[in-house]
Amino acid sequence: MKKIALTLAAVAFLAFACTNGSATSPKSTEQDSKVSENAVNTGNPGTQKDGDKKSAISDKPVNLTKQDFLEKVMNYEKNQTEWVYEGDMPALIDFYADWCGPCRIASPVLEELAKEYAGKVRFYKVDTQAEQELAAVFGIRSIPAFLFVPKEGKPTMSNGIARTPEDTKTMFKKMIDEILLGEKPATL
């Protein structure tokens, strides 16, 4: 378990260090998928079978347990030495706690973005108080922390939010577009 934690912490640290907190990532080859995750958590009734995984259109961030994480994001117990993404579209994972003020500011922003990017990007939440193993595996020491997971390539970790909810939304949109969807930034 220590090897897994160290390996994933090193990957997350290198991804964050190499981008200096901002984002560049390989382009995703399958940017547009048709489904979003977890009808049970969102109340959406429609499901579609993806192999053994059920998916549904979701316009809200979905809470992940360790087991959900292993199935939908990365099975770090099985793949201890390399990052193998289990998802079918890019994902943004919010590591948060209920007592965290900045986390409470980020939450409605992420809900808005989940609606805007429904069918293109999955939005997940991991409660670091309830899922301490996941927080430890990713070396989460301050929250909010966000893991941007492209369909292909390595994930990028980012911490904190901007000064205002509007600036935070702009920051997230830029990172989603560049890291997860492989879009080039607009030049001024």
Q: Is residue 188 part of a domain?
A: no
Model confidence pLDDT, tens digit, residues 24-77: 333 333 333 333 333 333 333 333 334 444 455 578 999 999 999 999 999 999
For residues 129-143, average pLDDT = 94
How high is the pLDDT of residue 145?
Answer: 97
Q: Is residue 187 part of a domain?
A: no
The reported pTM is 0.69
How high is the pLDDT of residue 140?
Answer: 94
Q: How many domains does the chain have?
A: 1
- Whether the pLDDT of residue 138 is over 50: the answer is yes
Give the list of residues 6+ apart from residue 81 with CB closer than 8 angstroms, or none. Answer: 3, 7
CATH number at residue 123: 3.40.30.10
Residue 102: burial class (beta carbons within 10 Å; 0-12, 13-18, 19+):
middle
Give CA–CA dist 73/68, Å, rounded: 8
How large a percentage of the chain has pLDDT more than 90?
A: 60
Q: Is residue 131 part of a domain?
A: yes
Q: Is residue 157 part of a domain?
A: yes
For residues 7-22, average pLDDT = 40
Place of tokens 């966000």: 146
For residues 80-96, average pLDDT = 92
Higher pLDDT, 29 or 149: 149
Higher pLDDT, 74 or 23: 74
Q: Is residue 185 part of a domain?
A: no
Q: Is residue 23 part of a domain?
A: yes
How high is the pLDDT of residue 185?
Answer: 67
How high is the pLDDT of residue 119?
Answer: 93
Give the active site residues.
100, 103
Domain residues for the domain of 76 are 2-180
Q: How many Cβ atoms from other residues are within 10 Å of residue 11's Cβ? A: 17
